[in-house]
Amino acid sequence: MNAGNPYQVRMGVVYAVLILFSAAIAVKLFSIQLLEGDQWRERAENVATAMRTVSSERGHIFSDDDRLLATSVPMYEIRMDMQADGLTDALFQANIDSLAWSLSQFFGDRTMQEYRQSLVRARERGERYHLIKRRCDHEQLQALRKMPLFRLGRNKSGFIADKYMIRIRPFGRLASRTVGYLLKDSSAVGLEAGFAPWLQGVSGKRLERRLTGGVWMPVDGGEGKEPVPGSDVHTTIDMNLQDVADNALATQLRRNGAHHGCVVVMETKTGYIKAISNLTLQPDSSYAEDYNYAIGASTEPGSTFKTAALMVALEDGRVSLDQVVDTRGGKRRFYDRTMIDSHDGGYGLITLGRALELSSNTGISQAIDQAYRTDPAKFVEGLRNLGFGSTLGLRFPGEGIPVLRGPEDKKLWSGVSLPWMSIGYEVSVTPMRILTFYNAIANGGRMMQPQLVRQITREGKVTERFEPVALKERICGEATLAKLRGVLEAVVDSGTATNLRSAHFRIAGKTGTALIAADKAGYKVNGKSYQASFVGYFPADAPRYTCIVVVSSPTQKGIYGNVVAGPVFREIADKIYSNRLEMQAPATAQADTVFRTPVSFGGNRADLLTVLDALKVPVNVEGDGEWASTSATDSVVMVGPRAVPDPGTPMVPNVLGMGLRDALYILENHGMRVRFTGSGMVKRQAPMPGERSLKGTTVTLELAI
């Protein structure tokens, strides 16, 4: 090299630098591969693997008779490791066609060629976690394990079945919103949410390897921590009764073209909920459970609230059920608003007790307005003491917020607030709260907290019990309670719910019809939307069950509680009575005492004695007169006197126990019209015997053997 040539010098420098750089790279590669290899391989392994959370198996939810309402079942995601140690090219090629054909025939979602092409491409790319089917049940998994190639096991076939759990409800729609379900964001509704701390268990840990595309695959034999399954929740729901309630509600909603409705059946002594159904009209005209109206919907209750208003006033000594109120032609004006009775023309002069039986708006409101006009805060305080204005404290998310304003709310309280509140307006409560109040009346004044769960178990052993809880030991005095129970029985006997009377047991309750706000014109009647309800208990003399039915926005057949909501109550009550022998025993015993063979109806004394004499039936005759009543023992028929008022007397005759022909003769002779149902002897009549009446009054008779 010519030292004087600058270009040659520069080239020499460049060559020297390149040689040194290459040597440095070689030294570094040697160091990494041989000296630091183990260290870097360990770090790479740590970056590609991690301990990941494994969800625990959720506990079951059972009905009261231990039938599954919600459970977790295993599902499998089917994948394939195309680089499995035993999966050689020869083995893959020998089985690919038969495997693709089997998958196509089994799932029917892709052709054999499509499956084959997908598997070949995955093999070419060297995929370690190739997805074949995202959702397979246990039966499908067993079939897949027998397919070509897959039957050789995981090492030779690369077959991977990742197990995960899904939540199902075996009874479908029945109580589905109450039982609840899990949402995509891992939250829940219903009992699934309220009892999540018991149901969800404890999550575990599992070592997994991250693959291309961010997919994680479990590492066989990797360390970790097994998840702990959740506990089981046992509800109070009776699925037989739940089925009856759901079907009865759905039928009535369809019949009345209603938008939604709910029904709840409560065990009187305990507060345990035995059935709860919430149905909403769907776009396809079917009904589904998509909202829990019974617990979550706080609305104006209407006339079912009148009982609470009178209870407060009776306890304060400010009204009497015997006091007379003037319904004023069915209209009563309070300041700038006019209150109207549902019955055109009102009811004239009636007692306050009768006003509740007939659900007279004008009668109830004027009595409460007069009693508390100068001290409305006292009335509101009484309602709050009954629990209105507060939640029930249920172990259930989404309980509706009640509204009960008082005079202290200067912006919203007005001169019409008191009378309108007395009939169930300007106050907002849930159906469950109304049910709880009436259940307290049925339960001798003891108010029970509604409960949907009776116990928690783990591995068959009870870990926690939820005993009945009394929210209030006594809601009112015994005298007040006895008076109101008598009126609630009269509502069914001779008031607004006579269509609910039963020949086998007595029902007590209250109808309700409220005008409500509606956003959808399609659910209005004459531009208005109504909510019909009935709440009551049975048997009235020894209550076992309390039930509320609410039907919102009916558009056909009617709008009133007795005809829209009442039939659901009656069907449920009849079903319970027919299936509970312990409820029938008292009635059977009474029947055996009074109606032994031969059975004889009351009627014309002369005709009756003639027939009994012809049949050679022993007779014990007491008293005299044209008409007679009868009763029987094992050996003799007792014929006693029956008082029948003169035709000119404005009083309803007593025809109970008579045959239809004699009953028609007496009533029509008094200038009354008669409607009847059934056959046999008169078991019930409305108006009741002894009530004042005018000519032309319609008397309804219910006949049964």
**265, 579 in Cβ contact below 8 A?**
no
Q: Token digits for 247?
A: 């079907």
The CA distance from 431 to 400, in Å, is 10
pLDDT at 618 over 90: no
d(CA 518, CA 285): 19
Taken in order 105, 107, 108, 113, the sign of the CA dihedral is negative
> When comparing pLDDT for 163 and 94, which is higher?
94
Percent of the chain whose predicted confidence (pLDDT) is above 90: 54
How far is residue 627 from each of residues 281, 506, 518, 619, 664, measured CA to CA in Å?
56, 28, 57, 16, 14
| Nearest-10 crossing angle of helices 112-125, 89-107 | 140
| pLDDT, greater one: 456 or 48 | 456
Per-residue pLDDT band at 262 (split at 50, 70, 90): very high
Residue that is written with structure tokens 């790279």 in the block: 25
Q: Give me the mean pLDDT over the 492-508 stretch.
A: 90
Model-wide pTM > 0.75: no
Whether pLDDT at 388 is above 50:
yes
Residue 2 pLDDT grade (very low, low, confident, very high; cuts 50, 70, 90):
low
What confidence tier does 258 reach under pLDDT thresholds 50, 70, 90? Answer: very high
Work out the average pLDDT over 93-116.
94
Closest CA to 314 of 422, 163, 434, 187: 422
3-state secondary structure of 368: helix
C-alpha 257/C-alpha 296 separation (Å) is 22
Instruction: Report the candidate in 356, 283, 345 with the shortest Cα–Cα distance to residue 323.
Output: 356
Name the H helices within 423-501.
Answer: 431-442, 478-494
- Residue burial 19-43, b: 16+ Cβ < 10 Å; e: rest: eeeeeeeeeeeeeeeeeeeeeeeee
The residue-averaged pLDDT of 213-237 equals 77
Start-to-end CA distance of the chain, whole Å, equals: 136
- Confidence check: pLDDT of 582 > 90: no
Type of residue at 546: T
Determine the distance from the C-alpha atom of residue 237 to the mean position of all C-alpha atoms in its chain, rounded to a whole number.
Answer: 10
Tens digits of residue pLDDT in 148-178 = 999 998 888 999 998 888 888 999 999 999 9
Q: Residue 593: what pLDDT?
A: 41
Percent of the chain with pLDDT over 70: 88
648-672 burial, b at 16+ Cβ within 10 Å, e below that, comes to: eeeebbbbbbbbbebbbebbeebeb
Characterize 227-256 residue by residue with b for buried, 16 or more Cβ atoms within 10 angstroms of its Cβ, and e for exposed.
Answer: bebbbbbbbbbbbbbbbbbbbbbbebbeeb
Mean pLDDT of the chain: 86
Q: What is the pLDDT of residue 588?
A: 42
CATH of 52-235, one of 3.60.21.10, 2.115.10.20, 3.30.9.10, 3.90.1310.10: 3.90.1310.10
Least confident range from 233-242, 326-335, 362-371, 616-625: namely 616-625
Lowest model confidence (mean pLDDT) among 61-65, 159-163, 360-364: 159-163
Identify each DSSP E strand in 653-704 by its residue range.
673-678, 681-686, 698-704
What CATH architecture does domain 302-429 belong to? 3-Layer(aba) Sandwich (3.40)
> What is the model's pLDDT at position 38?
65
* Residue pointed to by tokens 């070949």: 120
pLDDT of residue 520: 41
Q: What is the predicted pLDDT for the residue at 32?
A: 66
Model confidence at 696: pLDDT above 60? yes
- Name the pLDDT band for 294 (thresholds 50, 70, 90): very high
**Most confident of the following: 37-41, 203-207, 448-452, 696-700:** 448-452
> In this predicted model, which residue has the larger pLDDT, 348 or 46?
348
pLDDT score, position 260? 95
At 405, is the secondary structure helix, strand, or coil? coil
Residue 380 binned pLDDT confidence (cut-offs 50, 70, 90) = very high
Give buried/exposed letters for 542-581 (b at 16+ CB in 10 A, else e): ebbbbbbbbbbbbeeeebbbbbbbbbbbbbbbbbbbeeee
Query: For residue 351, which amino acid is it?
Result: T
Report yes or no: 167 and 179 within 8 Å, Cβ to Cβ.
Answer: no
pLDDT of residue 621: 80
Whether residue 586 has pLDDT greater than 50: no
Angle at 412 (CA atoms; ends 411, 413), nearest 5 degrees? 105
Q: Is the pLDDT of residue 243 over 60?
A: yes
Q: What is the mean pLDDT of residues 118-128?
A: 91
CATH of domain 239-297+478-585: 3.30.450.330
What's the pLDDT band for 616 if we cut at 50, 70, 90? confident
Which of 22-26, 405-409, 428-432, 510-514 shows the lowest mean pLDDT across its residues?
A: 22-26
Q: Cis peptide before 301, with omega less than 30 degrees from 0? A: no
What was the pLDDT predicted at 633? 63
